[in-house]
Structures are given as C-alpha cells and as structure tokens.
C-alpha cells in the first residue's frame, strides 16, 4: 500500500460548473496532500469561490469528481451504482470539510460559545456539556476565551472571523476551506485572523485558502494556484510563483495586487 503521505488527501478532477450559459469553472484538476496549504489567487469571477463551494458540497458540480480520503463526494452508492447524493447524504458528507466564509456568517442569535458548539450537539450528537467544553477550548485556541459569551454583533470583524474558524475547526474536519477570509475586514484586523490561520498551518491542518493576501501566500502556502476565467493557469511553489511567474496573466495580476 502507498503511504498516506504520498497519496493526496483531496483530489479534484475535471470539475466544472455553469450558471446558465456562463461557464464559471471549466474542468479544473488539482490535489492536496494531508498537512499541505494551497493558496488560490485570481480575479473575482475567475471561479475560485465556486470551486470551494463545490468541494464543500454547498453546490452540485455539473461534471467532475471530488475524492476525499479515497471516498468520492457528492455521490451515493445505490445498488452498486454511483448516483447523486440526497441533501441528507450531502449533509453527512459535509462533516469532513470545514468552510470559513468571507462574511463570517456567524449565527447572530447565539453567543460565540453556542455558535461553536451548535453543530457538535446537533450534527455529531455530542452531549451538551461536553460540546460546550470543547467549544470553550476551541475559542481559547483562537484567542477568544474571554469573549465566549459575547454575541456576534458585540464582536469586531476579526473576532467574528476567529469564532467562525473555531466553529469549523471544532468539528475536526480533514480539510479546511477559506473563502477570502480577510477580504471583509478592516486592514488593522486582518493580522489577527492570518495569525490564527498560520498557527493552524503550523499544526499540520490541511488548508485551501482563496486569498488576496500575497504575504500570507508567500509565508504559509506550499503551493500557489492562479485561477483565470474558470481554469488553473499556473501552479507552483511560492518562490517560483512570485519570483518568476510563467504566465503573462499571472504577472499582470500580481502587479495589480502588490
């Protein structure tokens, strides 16, 4: 058997998605090994966020495959044949994939602690007091132990995003997806969120990060992917990617964000 360090944890092949006549994702391929961090760059509308939503099973792909730890996602085995998974089956498969959104999307009617504990109790059926303990521990880990009883509206954007990270992390996903996690934040709040993400990477979390933070991609990513009009046009280690980008579009994009 091939050692798991070489086998990719997650692989995506020929993944495509259209909205009406507009083909947002034109059949992309890539894979990520356990413990790796991939940064994804690209202009808005290039298909980055759509790909994350497909991997998180929040939308159905038109074609292509997503395989996580040897299991094909989005399909269910029915009498030996692969068929589209039902919403319930998708809900079950989503447990292994964590997602952090640009707009945080914390639940405004719960304090930070219950935001983090909710899915533990009702999805993973963990006992209430154990879930709250685990949630408190996770809030400590993102540096918000003293904010656990605050409601989202009482927290800064940076704090809200850290709660959102804790909420995804507490379910112990095998891969964590970030959809422009700092784009909605004021400049002075970006750092605290990136710091949490860096410490996750250092702890060996497998992460796919759609971002415009070039510094973060340089420091943390094992590989950087460039999206353009629904395709991956460049894929390289950060040094090569930022040092000597091969594609003209990448050079032009980088000159604009720097």
Partner 1 sequence: MNFDFSIFWNALTSLNYVSGAVLAILLAVLAMVLGTVLGFLIALARSSGKRWLVTLSGVYVGVFRGLPTLLILLLAWNAAPQLIPALRSEAYSPFVAALISLTLVQAAYMAEIIRSALLSVDAGQPLAARALGLTPVQTMIRVVIPQAIRIAIPPTGSELINTIKYTSLASVISLRELLTTAQSGVSTTFRYAEFYAAAAIYYLVIVTVVTVVQSQLERKFLWTSKDLPSASQPEPGTVTLDLKGTKA
Cα–Cα distance measured from residue 150 to residue 133, given in angstroms and rounded to the nearest whole number? 16
SS (H, E, C) 147-215: HCCCCHHHCCHHHHHHHHHHHHHCCCCCEEEEECCCCCCCHHHHHHHHHHHHHHHHCCCCEEEECCCHH
| Of 60-68, 149-157, 222-230, 238-246: span binding partner 1 (CB under 8 A) | 149-157
Residue of 67, 76, 118, 214 that binds partner 1 (CB under 8 A): 118
Residue of 180, 223, 228, 234 that binds partner 1 (CB under 8 A): 180
184-187's contacts with Cβ under 8 Å and 24+ in sequence apart are 184/102, 184/103, 184/104, 184/157, 185/157, 185/158, 185/161, 186/157
- Contacts of residue 155, Cβ cutoff 8 Å, sequence gap at least 6: 112, 147, 163
Any contact of residue 94 with partner 1 (CB under 8 A)?
A: yes
Any contact of residue 240 with partner 1 (CB under 8 A)?
A: no
Residue of 10, 119, 194, 207 that binds partner 1 (CB under 8 A): 119
CB 158 within 8 A of CB 106: no
Any contact of residue 155 with partner 1 (CB under 8 A)?
A: yes
Residue of 149, 202, 204, 243 that binds partner 1 (CB under 8 A): 149
Q: How far is the CB of 248 from partner 1 (least distance, A)?
A: 25
Any contact of residue 107 with partner 1 (CB under 8 A)?
A: yes
Cα–Cα distance measured from residue 161 to residue 181, given in angstroms and rounded to the nearest whole number? 7
> What would the x/- binding string for partner 1 be over residues 29 to 58, using CB under 8 A?
---------------x-----------x-x
Residue of 123, 202, 246, 257 that binds partner 1 (CB under 8 A): 123
Provide the binding-site residues for partner 1, judged by CB under 8 A: 44, 56, 58, 87-88, 91-92, 94-95, 97-99, 101-109, 111, 118-119, 122-124, 149-159, 164, 167-168, 171, 180, 183-186, 188-189
């Amino acid at each position: 058997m091939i050692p798991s360090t070489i086998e990719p944890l997650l692989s995506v092949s020929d993944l495509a998605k259209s909205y009406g006549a507009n083909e947002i994702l034109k059949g992309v391929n890539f894979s990520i090994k356990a413990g790796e961090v991939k940064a994804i760059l690209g202009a808005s509308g290039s298909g980055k966020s759509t790909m994350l939503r497909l991997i998180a099973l929040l939308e159905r792909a038109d074609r292509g495959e997503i395989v996580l730890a040897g299991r094909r996602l989005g399909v269910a085995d029915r009498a030996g044949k692969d068929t589209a998974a039902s919403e319930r089956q998708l809900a079950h498969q989503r447990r292994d994939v964590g997602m952090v959104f640009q707009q945080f999307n914390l639940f405004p009617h719960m304090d930070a602690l219950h935001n983090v504990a909710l899915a533990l109790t009702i999805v993973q059926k963990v006992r209430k007091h154990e879930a709250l303990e685990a949630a408190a521990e996770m809030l400590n880990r993102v540096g918000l132990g003293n904010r656990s009883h605050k409601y989202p509206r009482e927290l800064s954007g940076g704090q809200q995003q850290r709660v959102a990270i804790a909420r995804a992390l507490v379910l112990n996903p095998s891969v964590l997806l970030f959809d422009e996690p700092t784009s909605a934040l004021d400049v002075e709040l970006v750092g605290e969120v990136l710091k949490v993400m860096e410490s996750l990477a250092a702890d060996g979390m497998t992460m796919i990060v759609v971002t415009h933070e070039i510094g973060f991609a340089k420091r943390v990513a094992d590989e950087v992917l460039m999206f353009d009009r629904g395709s991956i046009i460049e894929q390289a280690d950060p040094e090569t990617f930022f040092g000597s980008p091969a594609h003209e579009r990448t050079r032009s994009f980088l000159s604009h964000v720097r």
